[in-house]
C-alpha cells in the first residue's frame, strides 16, 4: 500500500466516524417521528455516502455490508418496512457494527471483518416485514429505475483509480455545498456535475496533531509572560514610541493567545448526543419509559477534559435511569406521568464548567442509605449521619443499594468511578435531592485553560493571584460595615446583605495578633454557587493575564492552590481558589 492510498483510507475512516455519529442521532430522531420523510432522506444519503466512499478507497468489507444495509434502508424509506422500535434497534445495531469495523481498521488498515451473521439478520428482518405486507420476494431481479440505480452504483464505485478518487472528493464535497448529479454510465469515466448551493462556502478544516497544538499553546504562554515583563519594564521608560509599540504588541499577543486557546476548545454537543443512546438502551433493559432533555450542548471546554468526562457522564445517566427514575407503575401510583425525564445541562459559572444530570424520580433517602451501609459493614451499628453525609455514601467504593447484580448496576463501582475521575480533573461532584421529586448531580470542573485573567493581591508582603472571574466586586469597608456575630463570626454589611467575612492571613494560618483593622484592608466579594462571601486582603496590585503552571505533587492535595504563575517582574505567585480556601472555616462556623 503506497502513501497515497494509505492517506485516502485514513481520511475515510476519520470522516466515517462523524457520519456514524450523525446517523445514530438520525435513527433516534426517527423513532420519535417515524413519518419524518426528510429524516429518512438524510439517513439514506449518509448510508449511500458510506457505501460509495468505502468501496472507492478499497474497504471491501465495509462496502459489502453497507450495500446490504442501504438496501434495507431503502425499503424503510419507501414504506415497504414500517418504522418500529425493533427496526430502530436493528438500525442502531448495524450502526454500532460499522463503527466497530471502522475502529478495527484504524488499528489495522488490512484487517478483514466478517459481517455475515448480521447481514442474515438484516435479510431476515427484511423478508419478515415484506411477508407481513404481502410484498414480492426480495430475491427477484430489480426492474425499472431501481435496476438502473443499482447497476450505476456498482460501476461508479469500483477500483480506487485516480479518477475514482476525484469522484469521491466531489461527491463528498457535494453533500456539504450542493446536490451531486451523476451522469449515466458510459464507457468513459463517470462524470459528476456539482450544482452549487446558494449558501456561502463552508468553513474548511484540517487535522492537526494534538502534540503540535500543545507545543503552540506552551509557546504562546511563554510569549504572554515575556510580554507582561516587557510591559512592566517599559513603565519606567520615557520612550513614547517604545511604550506605544509594546502596547500594540500586547493586543496582537492577546489575539494570538485567544486563537491558539480556542483550538483546543470543543463543544459538548457530540458527547451529549451519545447520552440519548445510553438513555434509550438503559431504559429499555429496565422496562422503564425515560426521555432525555439536553441544553447547553454548545458550551465549550478543553478537549482533554472532554475526553475524561465521558465515562463519568455515562455512569450518571445510567444511574439516573436505574436508581433515580421509578418504574411506570410506581410513578402512576404516586401521581406522576408514566414516563420519567432526565435533564442534561451544561453552563459556565464563576470560571467553572458545570454539568447537571437531573431526574424527576424518587430522590435519595439518606436514612435508607445509612441502614444499607451498616448492613454491608461500611458503618458501625447505630451510626447516625447528617443528611448530606449519608447521601454521599453512594460514592463509597463497593457500595450499592441493589441486592443483585444486573447488566446495569449492582457492582458498586459506578459512582465511585465518577467521583475518582472528576477529582482527578480537580473537579467535584455535588448532590441535591428531594424525596419524591428527584435528584440533581452537579459536576463542577475547572476550565483548565493555560492562560487566565487574574487579580493580583498582596497580603503581608506576599502576592497571590485570584481568577478574575471569581471576583464579583471589590471595596474598602468602613468600620460600620463590619460586625461580629456569635454564630457567623465577622460579617460584612453590603447594601442590606450580610456576607460572611474572612481574612486571607487567617485562612492561610497566620496568627490573629497580626490582624489589621478591617477599614485598613480591601474586601473582595466572591459569589460562587449561591454562597457569597468576602475576603479581606492588604492591597490589590492590579489585573493581568497569567499563565497557569502546575504545582508539584507534594502540594497537589491542596485544592485551594490551583497552580502558580509568573508575574511581570519574573517572580512566582500562587493562584488561589477562594471557595476552596474558605471551606474549612465554613464547616467550623456551622
- pLDDT (0 to 100) of residue 138: 38
Q: What is the DSSP string of 335-388?
A: T--SSEEEEEEEEEETTEEEEEEEE-S----HHHHHHHHHHTTSS-TT----HH
- pLDDT (0 to 100) of residue 162: 44
Model confidence pLDDT, tens digit, residues 113-140: 889 999 998 888 887 655 454 444 434 4
- pLDDT (0 to 100) of residue 153: 37
Query: Strand pairing partners for 266?
Result: 301
- Going by the DSSP 8-state scheme, the letter that residue 322 receives in this structure is I
* Cα–Cα distance, 590 to 581 (Å, whole number): 16
Strand-by-strand arrangement of the 438-446 sheet: 290-295, 340-349, 352-359, 438-446, 428-434
What share of the chain has pLDDT > 90, as a percent?
A: 19
Q: Which residues contact 162 (CB under 8 A, 6 or more apart)?
A: none
- pLDDT (0 to 100) of residue 440: 95
Q: Pick out the chain residues at pLDDT < 70.
A: 1, 128-163, 165-207, 350-351, 400-414, 426, 447-451, 511-515, 528-530, 553-554, 556, 586-590
- Which cell goes with 237? 521608560
* Cα–Cα distance, 340 to 64 (Å, whole number): 41
CA 130 remoteness from chain centre? 42
* Cα–Cα distance, 257 to 544 (Å, whole number): 14
Beta strands 352-359 and 438-446: pairing type?
antiparallel
- Going by the DSSP 8-state scheme, the letter that residue 320 receives in this structure is I
Model confidence pLDDT, tens digit, residues 421-445: 887 776 788 899 999 999 999 998 8
What share of the chain has pLDDT > 70, as a percent?
A: 79
Mean of the per-residue pLDDT values of the chain: 78
Amino acid at each position: 500500500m503506497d502513501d497515497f492510498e494509505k492517506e485516502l483510507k485514513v481520511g475515510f475512516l476519520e470522516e466515517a466516524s462523524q457520519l456514524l455519529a450523525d446517523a445514530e442521532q438520525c435513527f433516534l430522531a426517527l423513532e420519535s417521528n417515524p413519518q419524518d420523510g426528510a429524516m429518512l432522506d438524510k439517513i439514506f444519503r449518509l448510508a449511500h455516502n458510506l457505501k460509495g466512499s468505502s468501496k472507492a478507497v478499497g474497504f471491501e468489507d465495509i462496502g459489502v455490508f453497507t450495500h446490504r444495509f442501504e438496501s434495507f434502508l431503502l425499503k424503510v424509506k419507501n414504506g415497504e418496512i414500517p418504522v418500529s422500535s425493533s427496526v430502530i434497534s436493528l438500525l442502531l445495531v448495524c450502526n454500532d457494527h460499522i463503527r466497530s469495523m471502522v475502529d478495527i481498521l484504524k488499528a489495522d488498515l488490512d484487517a478483514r471483518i466478517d459481517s455475515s451473521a448480521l447481514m442474515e439478520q438484516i435479510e431476515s428482518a427484511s423478508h419478515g416485514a415484506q411477508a407481513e405486507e404481502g410484498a414480492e420476494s426480495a430475491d427477484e431481479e430489480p426492474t425499472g429505475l431501481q435496476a438502473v440505480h443499482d447497476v450505476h452504483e456498482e460501476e461508479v464505485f469500483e477500483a480506487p483509480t485516480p479518477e475514482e478518487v476525484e469522484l469521491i472528493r466531489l461527491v463528498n464535497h457535494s453533500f456539504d455545498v450542493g446536490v451531486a448529479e451523476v451522469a449515466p454510465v458510459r464507457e468513459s469515466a463517470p462524470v459528476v456535475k456539482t450544482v452549487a448551493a446558494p449558501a456561502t462556502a463552508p468553513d474548511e478544516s484540517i487535522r492537526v496533531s494534538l502534540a503540535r497544538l500543545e507545543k503552540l499553546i506552551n509557546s504562546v504562554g511563554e510569549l504572554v509572560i515575556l510580554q507582561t515583563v516587557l510591559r512592566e519594564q517599559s513603565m519606567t521608560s520615557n520612550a513614547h514610541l517604545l511604550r506605544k509599540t509594546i502596547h500594540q504588541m500586547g493586543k496582537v499577543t492577546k489575539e494570538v493567545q485567544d486563537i491558539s486557546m480556542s483550538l483546543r476548545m470543543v463543544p459538548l454537543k457530540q458527547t451529549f448526543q451519545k447520552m440519548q443512546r445510553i438513555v434509550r438502551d438503559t431504559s429499555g433493559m429496565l422496562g422503564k419509559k425515560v426521555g432525555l432533555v439536553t441544553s447547553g450542548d454548545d458550551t465549550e471546554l478543553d478537549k482533554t477534559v472532554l475526553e475524561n468526562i465521558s465515562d463519568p457522564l455515562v455512569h450518571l445517566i445510567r444511574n439516573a435511569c436505574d436508581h433515580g427514575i421509578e418504574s411506570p407503575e410506581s410513578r402512576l401510583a404516586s401521581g406522576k406521568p408514566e414516563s420519567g425525564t432526565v435533564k442534561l445541562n451544561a453552563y459556565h459559572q464563576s470560571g467553572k464548567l458545570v454539568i447537571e444530570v437531573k431526574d424527576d424520580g424518587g430522590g435519595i433517602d439518606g436514612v435508607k442509605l445509612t441502614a444499607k451501609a451498616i448492613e454491608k459493614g461500611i458503618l458501625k451499628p447505630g451510626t447516625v449521619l447528617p443528611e448530606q453525609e449519608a447521601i454521599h455514601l453512594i460514592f463509597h467504593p463497593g457500595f450499592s443499594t441493589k441486592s443483585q447484580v444486573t447488566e446495569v448496576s449492582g457492582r458498586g463501582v459506578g459512582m465511585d468511578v465518577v467521583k475518582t475521575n472528576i477529582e482527578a480533573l480537580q473537579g467535584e461532584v455535588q448532590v441535591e435531592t428531594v424525596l419524591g421529586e428527584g435528584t440533581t448531580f452537579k459536576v463542577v470542573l475547572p476550565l483548565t485553560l493555560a492562560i487566565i485573567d487574574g487579580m493580583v493581591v498582596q497580603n503581608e508582603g506576599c502576592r497571590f493571584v485570584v481568577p478574575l472571574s471569581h471576583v464579583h466586586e471589590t471595596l474598602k469597608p468602613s468600620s460600620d460595615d463590619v460586625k461580629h456575630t456569635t454564630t457567623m463570626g465577622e460579617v460584612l454589611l453590603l447594601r442590606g446583605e450580610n456576607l460572611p467575612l474572612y481574612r486571607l492571613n487567617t485562612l492561610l494560618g497566620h496568627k490573629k495578633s497580626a490582624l489589621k483593622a478591617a477599614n485598613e484592608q480591601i474586601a473582595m466579594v466572591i459569589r460562587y454557587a449561591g454562597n457569597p462571601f468576602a475576603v479581606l486582603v492588604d492591597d490589590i496590585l492590579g489585573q493581568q493575564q497569567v499563565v497557569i503552571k502546575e504545582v508539584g505533587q507534594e502540594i497537589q492535595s491542596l485544592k485551594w492552590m490551583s497552580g502558580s504563575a509568573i508575574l511581570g517582574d519574573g517572580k512566582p505567585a500562587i493562584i488561589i481558589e477562594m471557595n476552596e480556601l474558605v471551606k474549612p472555616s465554613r464547616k467550623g462556623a456551622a
